[in-house]
Amino acid sequence: MREAADVSSTFSTSARRWTRRGFLITWGGIGAGATLLAACGPANAPAAPTAAPTAAAAPKPTAAPTTAAAAAPTTAPATTAPAAVAAGTGLTPQPQATPDPAARDGGTLRFLAWTDDPPSLDPYVNVSYRVQEFSAFFYSRLLRSKKGPDLKAQAYIMEGDLAEAWGPEADGKTWTFKLNPNAKWHNIAPMSGRPVTAQDVAWSFEHFMATSPQKSTFDQVDHVTATDDHTVQFVLKDVYAPFEAQIGGPVFWILPKEVVDADGDVSKRTIGSGPFIFDKFDSGISFTGHKNPDYYHPGEPHINDFVGLIIPDTATQMAGLRAHELDYAMIPDNEIPGMQSSNPEIQLTKTEYNLIPFVYWKVDQPPFNDPRVRQAVSMMINRDNIIQVIYNGVGSWNNAIPWALSEWWLDPHSPEQGDTAKNFKYDPQAAKQLLAAAGYPDGLQVTMLSTPGYGNVWVQAVELVQADLKAGGVAADLQMHEYADYIANIFSGKFQGGNVLVFGLETPFTEPHDFLFNMYHPQGTRNHASVNDQQLTSMIEAQARELDRAKRKAMIFDIQRYLADQMYYPPGVAPYNTHATAPWVHDLYARADYGFGAEIVPKLWLENH
């Protein structure tokens, strides 16, 4: 492993991409300290700094996984039991983590970040997963998803980030958060290491609601008040079951007011209070950061710094793992046999994958305003074939809720799905009959939109779905859009309707309500298809008010049955995530969503760094 000084020459201000040949020549034959060779990078890099500002002076799968079922660390960190809470306070205290006694500090983590640039570095103004993953390294939240040796990737048990105690009052509508008094902004002007206050949280929420396309996530919040420097209260309009999971999701980051006041947003300067301090972003190459010495979670992070690499093609990614120049990457299932054969020392582990591939269109215009046409498209998708061809036979069918959220997922194969199970089954002849009944006896000619920005495996999936549509009577002219354009103009719902369909990926939300509200409610931030179904809207709003977990689950199952009949968004399939780690990486816990940089990286440590 290498210290930061060993890789300082790696980062050029020119925008260059990794190539497999350059990767192998540079790392395999020259060494870690050499300049990395790459081809030209994308022309549309986000408005971002090239270097940090100067510091201030002061489930039920189709087949069983072939590798380990969960990411198991070398040594499990212990936690102490929560202290007793005085009756009536409504606050949950944050257990204090005990550092792993085997953990060693130091070293540089090099990992595969993305296949392309994020469209922006401001997590409020852009919804891209790359922007949110970037933000997790540098910014804080009130709560975060707990990670540990005995927790599944999708457990989504909240623990405190900035908050050291939190909870609802007796009315269920007032949530109080007590902030960690040791939390400070990074020691970079204009924040200069000042304390993070409740006023920062209240301002950030106001700014989020004024600027973010995801603001409807918190429509149930009536107002937010900083009652003192370390106490903030969220008052809801009504009892709201998903609130805790939503406030802890990787969406609402606490941003620096002084930077926004000066610059208008945070796309030019990244100054937070999270585990790492921003160093540099090189378009098409990497982003880097170093350990925050004043981080308020004791003992974290263990590593000195990190390099998040942008590598477009799978061959180059695999070359980096084999050459031991990547410490961690998620790899496609079809690369597993080769990796096991060539590099048995690489640790391969599997976790549930909260992935939502889905078809969308405009349901307020023909032909996709007819549920028979939408059902037909769903029947054309050969879900089992996709699992077999792309995911080595390991994966399962999603419903409106992905199978990885196993508590809330209604298995389309199960008797509980009822008569609507037929709409998931591959049946191109039945699909053709539905099209004919809807007035399209000769099939349909459509434009199919997608993006190569999710990587090579995704492109394979797009091509398989295109072939499935053809077999069912839908001739799809495929148009691939560059990722930033796709997010801004297609994923956002700005594409034209009519004979246009999209095959894309949905955000991996941590709470079932986020899928239902965002995708299907008229006020949802990801209502790509312009769904406006009064019956469905009432069902979604009702489950959000139900605090009894068993009753709420039954209501969500009812919604999934209803949606299987309407097929506003025919869901696809999801595999397991396969994580490849070098043998010197320890305590890399199960990864689930965009919180990787805050929830997992600070806990891992490197041996022999």
Scanning the structure block, which residue is given the tokens 């489930």? 59
Task: Band the pLDDT of 127: cuts 50, 70, 90.
Answer: confident
**N- to C-terminal Cα distance for the chain?**
5
Q: What percent of the chain has pLDDT over 90?
A: 73
In this structure, of 212-216, 305-309, 476-480, 520-524, the range with the lowest mean pLDDT score is 212-216
The mean predicted confidence, pLDDT, of the chain is 86
**What is d(CA 215, CA 208) in angstroms, rounded to the nearest whole number?**
7
The two beta strands, 474-480 and 444-450, are: parallel
Q: Report, as an integer, the average pLDDT of 135-149.
A: 95
Percent of the chain topping pLDDT 70: 84
Comparing 31 with 150, which gets the higher pLDDT?
A: 150
74-115 pLDDT, tens digit each = 333 333 223 333 333 456 665 555 557 789 999 999 999 999
Distance set, CA 435 to CA 446, 464, 497, 594, 596 (Å): 14, 21, 18, 39, 44
Is the pLDDT confidence value at 28 over 70? no
Taking CA atoms, 16 is separated from 13, 39, 318, in Å, by: 9, 5, 19
Greater confidence, 20 or 607? Answer: 607
pLDDT, tens digit, 9 for 90 and up, residues 549-583: 999 999 999 999 999 999 999 999 999 889 999 99
Tens of pLDDT, residue by residue over 202-217, are: 999 999 999 998 898 8
Rounded Cα gap, residues 208 and 241, in angstroms:
21
What is d(CA 581, CA 591) in angstroms, rounded to the nearest whole number? Answer: 13
Ranges of beta strands (E only) in 297-443 are 305-310, 328-331, 347-352, 356-360, 396-397
Question: Is the pLDDT reported for residue 9 higher than 60?
Answer: no
Give 256's contacts (C-beta < 8 A, 6+ positions apart): 185, 190, 191, 200, 266, 271, 272
Residue 350's SS3 state is strand
pLDDT at 593: 81
